[in-house]
Chain A
Amino acid sequence: MSVTRIHSKPKSWLWGTLTSIRLTVFVLLILAAVAVIGTVVPQNQPPSQYLAHFGDAWGELLWRGGLTNVYFSPWFLGPIIVLALNIMACIVHGLPEAVRRATRRFTIEAALALPERGQVTWPADVDPHPLVSATLRRELGRCRRETLQDREVFLLERGRWRPLGPYLIHVALLLILAGGLIGKFWGVDGQLALDQGEVAGAFQLGSRMEQPLHFQVRLDNFQVSYYERGGIPKEFRSDLTFLKDGREVSRATCRVNEPVSFGGLTFYQASYGSQAAGPIRLTVELEGRRQTIAALLRQPVELPGGRGKLIAVRVDGNFQGYGPAALLAYSAGTGHPMVFWVLQGHPELGEQPGPYRFTVESIPLRYYSVFQVKHDPGVWWVYTGFLMFLPGLYLAFFRPTERWVLVLAKTPQGQWQARLLGASPRQREEFAARQERLLMELKGGTPS
């Protein structure tokens, strides 16, 4: 892709700039630098976070300058657009020539114009044909053979498609970028939180919008299983039923890494949580006397003995890996409430204020499951780009062009003479090694 620049015409200047590799390298490094900013400055936080973290002046600058959502700001999208234009210009500029080179037949004229690499002669009474065929087949593979009136020519061309490699790569990149754009504009990406047994006919888009579904979905059962109690989770499993007009249409199990698709949308197991399904049963101990009470979430309960009130604030199905626990708030008289966790399986953990001792008897838990709900028509563009990228890389980097020609003829003195011609502009070392082997085998007749 060599570039000639003519500065007198603005159009040519623009074209020259757009097809220049200097621009490519520059834009790639700019993109890398902007991407670094995006990993150093936390992204998509509320403005107050930046003010608190970076100070008023810097926080304001980051927020107003678009650096808090940098991958969707002009700082990043601008260079991306320039890169896309650069790639397109280079494709337009160089693809016709590359196609011409890749589809051009390896003619005798082109073959005989290659640089000569060596000569071998045999006496007139020795027929070198078997040796030449065998050697060429062993070292190079199957060659094309053309017979002219006074000589025979063996031709081999490898990596003819190599010039197309870079173009495959760059078209693939454009497809990936196009896929991203399509997903951004025509894709749907939302969340759906479902309680066990709940039926939903819509899901959340962003923080406010609700998007109706043209079907209903029900969470029949959600389950977290653990390898061992209080340990690493083994599986998050949601059993879903899809309904249309109240009729069951299909059932499916959604796990992490195993999404479920229905009606053009895909459901991914994203997260889960638990909430209390009924009153929490607690044992209260005061001066040796025990009593059981039931506390509804966020409802104050007068404690036996009249020395304070209790509110169950929150429950957790697996508090820090220690199993079910309740967050309780105890207040004596008009004082500030004191908040503490009580663990069902580990009553010994944690400090409790006041004269009472609380232990959890049971927490009726109801799990809910959160799904990522998505439709992205751009994914197949991106995947097509991925698939195209790999043969492109192979052709561009691992398939060197290589041309070999052997001309076999009789000299005026009656001897047999073979002339070896060839070229491989990008793999000189390997080429030279093979050339040496070929010549040696043709001369000595013994493979190394």
Chain B
Amino acid sequence: MISQLFGAVMLAYLLVAILFLTAELWSSPRLQNAGRIVLWLGLGVQSAGLIGRWLENYWLALGHSPPLGWTEKLRLIILHAPLANFYESLIFFAWCLPTLGLLAFRRYLKGYLGALIAVLSTLLLAYASFGVDSRIKPLMPALKSNWLLIHVVTAFLGYAAFALAFGSAILYLVQEKRPRSSLPPLPVLDNLVYRTTVLGFLMLTLGIITGAVWAETAWGRYWSWDPKETWSLITWLIYAAMLHARLLKGWHGHRIAWLAVLGFMAVLFTYFGVSFLLTGLHSYLT
């Protein structure tokens, strides 16, 4: 039932994208507003769906457990956040994008930029709805750790922030080629790329650190050169290089934008490529 809810959210985000695009083409502030409202609605429904899925996970786990005291129940709740398989991670990713977008872009989350974010979320939800097993399964022993929640949340906030940086960078490159007065001006876009990248870098760093500490408690190795780990390191190195180039070499504009695009390709490979093309410790995602 909840997976149908996410299907509805997917349609809502698709509508948001269409509204933002038509608003841009006809320069209609009314359609922009309608897009914002539908975006908020979709986000609200998706948040409710995530909480519902969380509860469902928790109830299922409760059914497999002996009667528990409230501290153990709390731990069970923390363990059963809907972040434990590929389907749930896609849904969460699709939630992070508009949420972070509203926080980081504020009034710029409209028009082409807003449509781009909405399309990305739509694609993620479409993939989750049509291509991935959505059944709830009990938690396997490797995932039973308090680190699961913080590790996955930070990692996906990082991915989402880099997606926003990618969106701004694409817009920057387009704006540079064919300037349009309705798009945010170049310095604003450049600043958005930088700020979202910094946010993503912080989150990715946190994701890697929490992952390392978790791996140390689960397997006795904080780093095992597992493909997921290695690719997150590759991503981290690319963004580290980009931040150094910008802050200390004064790189701006399209060179930084291209690095943001390259970095996001690495993010996509870290998330999808590693899960499908390479095997490793994170293969339970599929």
- The chain A residues found within 8 Å of chain B, CB to CB, are 1, 21-22, 24-25, 28-29, 31-32, 35-36, 38-39, 43, 71, 180, 189, 227, 231-236, 255-259, 266, 268, 270, 372, 374, 376, 379, 382-383, 386, 389-390, 393, 397-398, 429
Q: Which of B202, B230, B248 contacts A1 (CB 8 A)?
A: B248
For the complex, what is the distance from the CA of A258 to the CA of B233, rounded to whole Å?
26
A-B contact pairs, 19 of them (CB 8 A): A21-B249, A22-B249, A29-B237, A39-B278, A189-B220, A189-B221, A232-B137, A232-B138, A256-B141, A257-B141, A257-B145, A258-B217, A268-B219, A376-B220, A386-B212, A389-B209, A390-B205, A390-B209, A397-B198
Decide if A234 touches B220 in the complex (CB within 8 Å): no
A379 touches B244 (CB 8 A): no
Task: Write out the residue numbers on chain A whose beta carbons fall within 8 Å of the beta carbon of B191.
Answer: 429
Please tell me if the beta carbons of A28 and B218 are within 8 angstroms of each other in the complex: no
With A233-B141, A257-B145 already in contact, the answer to whether A24 and B222 are too (CB < 8 A) is no
The answer to whether the Cβ of B176 comes within 8 Å of any Cβ in the partner chain is no
Determine whether the beta carbon of A24 is less than 8 Å from that of B230. Answer: no
The residue on A at minimum CB distance from B225 is A71
- When the two chains form their complex, are residues B220 and A32 in contact, meaning their CB atoms are under 8 A apart? no
Interface residues of B in 205-251 (CB under 8 A from A): 205-206, 209, 212-213, 216-223, 225, 227, 230-231, 233-234, 237-238, 240-241, 244-245, 248-249
Q: What residues of chain B have their CB less than 8 Å away from a CB belonging to chain A?
A: 64, 137-138, 140-142, 144-145, 191, 198, 201-202, 205-206, 209, 212-213, 216-223, 225, 227, 230-231, 233-234, 237-238, 240-241, 244-245, 248-249, 266, 274, 278
- Rounded to whole Å, the gap between the CB of A305 and the closest CB of chain B is 46
Residue pair A35, B248 in contact (C-beta under 8 Å): no
* Chain A residue nearest in CB terms to B140: A232
Cβ of B217 and Cβ of A39 under 8 Å apart? no
Chain A residues with CB below 8 A from B205, complex form: 389-390, 393
Could you say which residues of chain B place their CB within 8 Å of the CB of A376? Answer: 220
Contact in complex: B144, A256 (CB < 8 Å): yes
In the complex, number of A-B residue pairs with CB atoms less than 8 Å apart? 105
Give Cα distance in the complex from A54 to B238, angstroms. 29
A257 to chain B, nearest CB (A): 4
**B221 → chain A closest CB, angstroms:** 8
- CB contact under 8 A between A235 and B141, given known A22-B249, A43-B225: yes
- Contact between A28 and B240, CB atoms less than 8 A apart: yes
* Contact present for B230 and A379 (CB under 8 Å): no
Q: Report yes or no: B238 in contact with A25, Cβ–Cβ below 8 A.
A: no
Query: 8 tightest A-B contacts by CB?
Result: A28-B241, A268-B220, A256-B141, A32-B237, A227-B138, A21-B248, A374-B220, A372-B220
Question: What A residues does B266 contact at CB under 8 A?
Answer: 32
A372–B220 Cα gap in the complex (Å)?
A: 7
Q: How far is the CA of A83 from the CA of B266 in the complex (A)?
A: 21
Known: A22-B249, A232-B138. A35 touches B144 (CB 8 A): no
Nearest opposing residue in chain B for A426, CB measure: B247
Q: Are B202 and A257 in contact (CB under 8 A)?
A: no
| CB atoms of B237 and A31 under 8 A apart | yes
Task: With a 10 A CB-CB cut-off, give which of B141, B223, B225 has the most chain A CB atoms.
Answer: B141
Do residues A255 and B141 form an inter-chain contact, with CB atoms below 8 A?
yes
CA–CA, A383 and B233, complex, Å: 17
CB distance from B250 to the nearest CB of A (A): 10
Which B residues touch A255, using CB under 8 A?
Answer: 141
**Minimum CB distance partner of B142 in chain A:** A256
Q: Is the CB of B244 within 8 A of A25?
A: yes
Could you tell me if A39 and B237 are in contact, using CB atoms closer than 8 angstroms?
A: no
Residue on A nearest B233 in the bound complex, by CB: A35
**Which residues of chain A are within 8 angstroms of B209 by Cβ–Cβ distance?**
386, 389-390
